[in-house]
Structure 1
Amino acid sequence: MKASFEGSMRFFFLIGVLIGSLIVFYILLGVAAYSQEISLLINPLVVAVLKDVLGPVSAGFGGAIAGAYGAYFLQRKSESDKESRIDASTLHRAIILFGDKLNDLLSIKKYNIHPYQNSEIRFLEIPKISPRPSVQDQLDTRIIDILIAMNLSAHLDIVKIAGFRYSACFENFSNRNQMLDEYRELLHTSEFRKETGVSLDDIASVVNPGRLIAICAMTEQTLEVLDEALQSLKEATDLLADAFEAKFKGSGTRGVRMVFSDADIYLAPVPKPYFDTERLKAYFRRR
């Protein structure tokens, strides 16, 4: 950036010197041509050379300078237009990327969490969730330069945290899945068959209460991180869409703003659990 600025300054300085020199030359030429008193002081051969040789040469030179000046600004405009298109594309892709991540988590919450969120033993009822994120693309680091250039560097943390929380959700899904596999294996090896009306006491008769408490803690942590990720991704998506509209306002470049069906329902935090870890510990102590 600094080198480009210094190069531009040198270019304008050179153009200024050349234009100034041409102006002075034409003034002298005009004075020599139309002022008889001054022309008598100058050798006629010099005047002839000025008129017939240097005049046309300087005119051509001036045209070359004008052409170079025009070419320079056309190049600068072309580079500016290209950079604007790249910035617009970068912002578009970032908005869609975060929107896709948000839609991914909204779908998980809709089909895997919401139907069980009011169950007393939701920590056991919520099924396993795929630990592989549907959205694998990474954020283009150019977005950092764009936000800094727009004096929005304070919002970079929102964008970065949204990405981290999305990844953290799937790490938690993986950890909880492993705990559920171990829990179900214990039920299977004990020949326990869960049927309608089976109580938590029945399950605790074949599974150590400490293991159930651990699953409860893991489940509630997973739900908390999921809700935080949903809020962060929605905030980041809206922030990027606002940044696009601010940057390209009045330019005719159309932006994109993601629309999420039933978002209000699934963006709302899950209700408090019937059993948190402390209440579950107290329940088992009373048995």
Structure 2
Amino acid sequence: MRVFSRSNRVFSRSNLVQTLVGGYVPLIVAVLVVFLPLLWMVLSSFKQPSEIITLDLNVLPESLNPANYQAAMTTVPFGMFFMNSAIVTMVGSAIKVLLAILTAYALVFVRFPFKNAIFVLILVALMVPPQVSILPNYILIAGLGGKNTLWGIILPGLGTAFGTFLLRQHFLTLPGSLLEAAEIDGAGHWRRLWQVVAPVSLPSIATVALVTVVSEWNEYIWPLIITDKPESMTLPVGLTLLQNSESNAEGWGIMMAGAVLVILPVLVIFAMLQRYIVAGLTQGSVTG
């Protein structure tokens, strides 16, 4: 009888209301806020101008006509933009992840003066908005001749305070016996890093890599400032060029198609590997 009364209290009306109001309703609202604009963008990319510029709300397009996608890919050099974004993303992400691994390992396993002070500076860099450094970076890169070059886009963002912080927190959770055994076997820091620490930290490293790839692919402000020629523009900046070419009311469908093409690779990668991101973010969240 006692078990029955407890189960009744668990499934009571007040508990159900609290669960709905405090859990499911905010979750549904958050999903709709993120999903509905994306859905509207995808649907609008198949619409004709008369279906977009109208007083009658047409949610679904009359037909799945890919004419907007064809126009978006031919109005601007879309293939060149895609190649530039791929190069910037792959090279920049690889270097940033490598630097994050090396820096985090040094902050945890290497003894040197002022190590804690350096980590505090990294935390400060994590809190400073990146827009603050745009002007000094522009003066430096332009002075070095990096304007309208891919290396000029990549170079200022090679440091990653987030990746260093996340990997350091995870490295602190590794048992000291692993490193002690490797040290007894005569392994130096380089072998300990790549043969012991890195293999057991793959989820966290994968998380840093995925977040870095998404950030590099979606970067807009800095490539927009440092480039003004189509030969060195990335996809987000190329979308701005497409907007300038299709500034009239009839170009909304074409711009929506271009936006879908820009975010589609990142959405696919993120959807496929999101469980690794969650595992990596939670793996280093508890220390001790």
TM-score after normalising by structure 2:
0.30
Higher relative contact order (CA 8 A, sep 6+): 2
Q: Which has the larger radius of gyration?
A: 1
TM-score after normalising by structure 1:
0.30
